[in-house]
């Protein structure tokens, strides 16, 4: 009764439990609910990749850059707003912001499903990304407050594994939906799922104490604009020219905005994200590690979806199922993830990506084997990195901690899609222009466009795509290896300081 009176008078009360379940059962119910919400928003990234060939051949006629934006608009907003959304949950109520995020997610997906042009598809993707940003950090914060400290590491490990498996669920579920309908049905299908998750959250999720923290709108705007400018430069590079004013201006604007963001945050009394936090080697290393793991994994998801359909001749459902080998280590290694060695994890992810480049147009069994290697690396890395980030900040900032690790994950995902998509387009155009004896400016930039313009050159077009994918995967493998080595050095420094 005192808690009800306190809320009615505007004061903040203690957590309110709305269920009569015993505590262990209640914890399991919250964990299951949080994992379902996480799989939904993470899996939607992967499932849209499967729709890329269908979108490219649709009446919308998107360009190669527009296809990348359809995938990345969601992830960029997801990445940029996830920390502010975590802080909003700390201030306004984590459960309430989580419910609002699921509602926005459903509205945005419905908008994309009925869109008549690329612009409206992108508007829906932006709204869905804002909703996803509200879901992920607050789902983790709800879990942190619902589980006692002695059982929290295990719960975090399960949640981390489920966030990794979100890509698998998105691939398989998306493939199943696209088998019986167009890309529009894929967007429409997630609407009832999002609403069902909202009802589940309303039923089982407990309320937790609020904290009156400033939302820092200036810092949020600067970080969002800096990120958007960076992705404009990466995605528009192949079409606008790497030395063109749009691309150069975007990269310069991103650097300037990021510098201004740092200066502003250092002067704010209570910054949303204090840049000085990254002076701690353990937190800095964990964030870099999380970013690079998702950079590799979601870059792979983007290439894999089209590669298996175009080059290996699989149906959309078979392409979705084709990524299942990646998940096997995640399913088997959840219990032991926190004790694994990060050095082995990054080595496996890098070697797996490089191995996939050798199996681009070969037998699927070899391709599947390299997917298992990538999945094994992710299994070793994700629980350890999640725990490191969460434990680097106090419990009363669980929303910001969840937002920080989610930002690095989603920023890595967006960078992976943008970088590998850009490399793939450049490689495809280069190889196709050589085989056709044409200048690069006269060559189509998507497989659908190339096949529509020259159906008799089917084999040459697919060979050019396979060569572009091979080059892109090799470059990403090297990036993962180098960044992983930097992460290990930082982790070693952190361990030495703790001793």
Look at residue 195 and tell me if it is in a domain.
Answer: yes
The string of pLDDT tens digits covering residues 111-148 is 999 999 999 999 999 999 999 999 988 998 888 888 88
pLDDT in the model for residue 4: 31
Q: What are phi and psi of 70, to 5 degrees?
A: -60, -35
The total number of structural domains that make up the chain = 2
What's the token pair of residue 222?
């600067």
Q: How far is Cα of residue 331 from the mean position of the Cα atoms in its chain? A: 19
- The mean pLDDT of 87-95, rounded to a whole number, is 85
If you ran DSSP here, which 8-state letter would residue 277 be given?
G
pLDDT band at 440 (very low <50, low <70, confident <90, very high): low
CATH code for the domain in which residue 159 is found: 1.20.1250.20
**168 in Cβ contact with 176 (< 8 Å):** no
If you ran DSSP here, which 8-state letter would residue 211 be given?
-
What's the token pair of residue 286?
């964990």
Q: Quick count: other Cβ atoms within 10 Å of Cβ 370?
A: 22
- The mean pLDDT of 436-453, rounded to a whole number, is 74
Q: Between 26 and 495, whose confidence is greater? A: 26
Q: What angle do the packed helices 23-50 and 152-179 form, to 10 degrees?
A: 40
Closest CA to 357 of 469, 478, 464: 469
pLDDT in the model for residue 261: 93
Say how far apart CA 70 and CA 52 lie, in whole Å.
9
Q: Specify whether 281 is located in the same domain as 170.
A: yes
Q: Specify whether 74 is located in the same domain as 50.
A: yes
Q: Specify whether 234 is located in the same domain as 371.
A: no
Look at residue 295 and tell me if it is in a domain.
Answer: yes
Q: Specify whether 296 is located in the same domain as 441.
A: yes
Q: Specify whether 417 is located in the same domain as 305.
A: yes
The string of pLDDT tens digits covering residues 314-366 is 888 888 888 778 777 766 654 443 444 578 888 899 999 999 988 888 888 99
**84 in Cβ contact with 220 (< 8 Å):** yes
Q: Between 240 and 438, whose confidence is greater? A: 240
| pLDDT tops 80 at residue 405 | no
**83 in Cβ contact with 124 (< 8 Å):** no
Distances (CA, A) of 307 to 314, 336, 361, 427: 9, 33, 9, 14
Say how far apart CA 405 and CA 79 lie, in whole Å.
10
Q: Specify whether 279 is located in the same domain as 267.
A: no
For the chain, the maximum distance between any two Cα atoms, rounded to a whole number of angstroms, is: 79
Q: Specify whether 248 is located in the same domain as 284.
A: no
Residues 6+ apart with CB under 8 A from 467: 427, 428, 431
Q: Between 70 and 12, whose confidence is greater? A: 70
pLDDT in the model for residue 10: 35
Look at residue 16 and tell me if it is in a domain.
Answer: no
What b/e sequence results for 411-449 when a residue is b if at least 16 CB atoms lie within 10 Å of its CB, and e otherwise? bbbbbbbbbbbbbbbbbbbebbbeebeeeeeebbbbbbb
**Mean pLDDT highest for which of 43-57, 245-259, 400-414, 421-435?**
245-259
Look at residue 171 and tell me if it is in a domain.
Answer: yes
| pLDDT tops 90 at residue 268 | no
Look at residue 38 and tell me if it is in a domain.
Answer: yes
Closest CA to 335 of 211, 154, 156: 154
Say how far apart CA 108 and CA 74 lie, in whole Å.
10
Look at residue 415 and tell me if it is in a domain.
Answer: yes
Q: Between 428 and 109, whose confidence is greater? A: 109
Q: Specify whether 148 is located in the same domain as 245.
A: no
What's the token pair of residue 498?
């703790």
**74 in Cβ contact with 40 (< 8 Å):** no
pLDDT in the model for residue 402: 63
Q: Specify whether 199 is located in the same domain as 320.
A: yes
**67 in Cβ contact with 91 (< 8 Å):** no
Q: Specify whether 332 is located in the same domain as 380.
A: yes
Q: Quick count: other Cβ atoms within 10 Å of Cβ 58?
A: 16
Alpha-carbon torsion 480, 333, 204, 395, what sign?
Answer: negative
Q: How far is Cα of residue 387 from the mean position of the Cα atoms in its chain? A: 18
**470 in Cβ contact with 360 (< 8 Å):** yes
pLDDT in the model for residue 164: 62
pLDDT band at 195 (very low <50, low <70, confident <90, very high): very high
| Rg, the chain, Cα only | 22
Say how far apart CA 179 and CA 314 lie, in whole Å.
12
Mean pLDDT of the chain: 82
Q: Between 73 and 157, whose confidence is greater? A: 73
| pLDDT tops 70 at residue 435 | yes
Domain ranges, residue 352: 21-207+272-445+454-498
pLDDT band at 170 (very low <50, low <70, confident <90, very high): confident
pLDDT in the model for residue 441: 63
**Mean pLDDT highest for which of 98-112, 275-289, 475-489?**
98-112
pLDDT band at 93 (very low <50, low <70, confident <90, very high): confident
Block residue for tokens 């981390």: 160
pLDDT in the model for residue 360: 85
Q: Specify whether 154 is located in the same domain as 245.
A: no
Instruction: Indicate the residue among 225, 254, 271 that finishes a domain.
Output: 271
pLDDT in the model for residue 399: 57
pLDDT in the model for residue 333: 52
Look at residue 125 and tell me if it is in a domain.
Answer: yes
Q: Between 275 and 474, whose confidence is greater? A: 474
pLDDT band at 487 (very low <50, low <70, confident <90, very high): confident
If you ran DSSP here, which 8-state letter would residue 180 be given?
S
| pLDDT tops 60 at residue 460 | yes
The string of pLDDT tens digits covering residues 6-44 is 333 333 444 444 444 557 778 888 899 999 999 999 889
Q: Specify whether 202 is located in the same domain as 221.
A: no
Q: Between 271 and 35, whose confidence is greater? A: 35
Instruction: Indicate the residue among 241, 256, 271 that finishes a domain.
Output: 271
Say how far apart CA 301 and CA 318 lie, in whole Å.
14
Say how far apart CA 494 and CA 96 lie, in whole Å.
37
Instruction: Indicate the residue among 224, 253, 271 that finishes a domain.
Output: 271
What's the token pair of residue 148?
């006692």
- The mean pLDDT of 197-217, rounded to a whole number, is 83
pLDDT in the model for residue 213: 65
| pLDDT tops 80 at residue 469 | yes
Look at residue 260 and tell me if it is in a domain.
Answer: yes
């Amino acid at each position: 009764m005192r808690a009800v009176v306190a809320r009615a008078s505007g004061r903040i009360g203690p957590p309110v439990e709305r269920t009569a379940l015993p505590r262990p059962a209640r914890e399991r119910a919250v964990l299951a609910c949080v994992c379902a919400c996480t799989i939904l928003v993470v899996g939607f990234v992967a499932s849209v990749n499967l729709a890329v060939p269908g979108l490219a051949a649709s009446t919308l006629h998107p360009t190669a850059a527009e296809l990348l934006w359809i995938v990345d608009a969601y992830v960029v907003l997801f990445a940029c707003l996830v920390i502010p959304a975590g802080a909003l949950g700390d201030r306004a109520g984590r459960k309430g912001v989580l419910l609002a995020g699921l509602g926005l997610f459903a509205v945005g997906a419905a908008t994309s499903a009925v869109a008549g042009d690329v612009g409206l598809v992108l508007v829906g993707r932006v709204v869905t990304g804002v909703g996803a940003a509200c879901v992920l950090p607050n789902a983790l914060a709800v879990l942190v407050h619902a589980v006692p400290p002695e059982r929290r590491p295990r719960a975090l490990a399960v949640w981390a594994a489920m966030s990794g498996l979100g890509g698998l669920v998105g691939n398989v579920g998306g493939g199943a939906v696209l088998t019986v309908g167009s890309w529009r049905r894929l967007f429409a299908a997630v609407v009832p799922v999002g609403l069902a998750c909202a009802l589940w959250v309303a039923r089982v999720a407990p309320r937790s104490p609020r904290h009156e923290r400033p939302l820092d709108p200036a810092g949020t705007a600067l970080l969002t604009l800096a990120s958007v400018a960076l992705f404009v430069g990466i995605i528009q590079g192949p079409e606008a020219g790497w030395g063109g004013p749009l691309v150069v201006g975007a990269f310069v604007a991103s650097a300037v905005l990021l510098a201004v963001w740092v200066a502003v945050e250092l002067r704010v009394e209570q910054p949303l994200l204090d840049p000085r936090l990254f002076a701690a080697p353990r937190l800095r290393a964990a964030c870099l590690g999380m970013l690079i793991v998702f950079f590799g994994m979601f870059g792979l998801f983007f290439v894999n979806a089209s590669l298996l359909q175009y080059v290996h001749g699989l149906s959309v459902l078979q392409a979705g199922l084709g990524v299942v080998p990646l998940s096997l280590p995640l399913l088997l290694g959840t219990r032991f993830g926190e004790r694994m060695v990060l050095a082995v994890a990054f080595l496996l992810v890098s070697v797996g990506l490089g191995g996939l480049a050798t199996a681009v147009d070969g037998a699927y069994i070899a391709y599947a084997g390299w997917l298992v290697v990538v999945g094994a690396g992710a299994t070793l890395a994700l629980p350890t990195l999640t725990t490191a980030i969460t434990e680097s900040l106090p419990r009363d900032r669980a929303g910001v901690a969840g937002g920080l690790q989610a930002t690095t994950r989603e920023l890595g995902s967006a960078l992976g899609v943008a970088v590998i998509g850009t490399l793939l387009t450049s490689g495809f155009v280069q190889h196709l222009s050589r085989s056709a004896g044409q200048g690069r400016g006269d060559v189509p930039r998507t497989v659908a466009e190339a096949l529509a313009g020259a159906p008799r050159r089917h084999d040459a077009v697919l060979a050019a795509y396979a060569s572009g994918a091979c080059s892109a995967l090799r470059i990403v493998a090297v990036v993962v290896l180098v960044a992983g080595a930097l992460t290990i050095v930082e982790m070693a420094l952190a361990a030495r300081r703790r001793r």
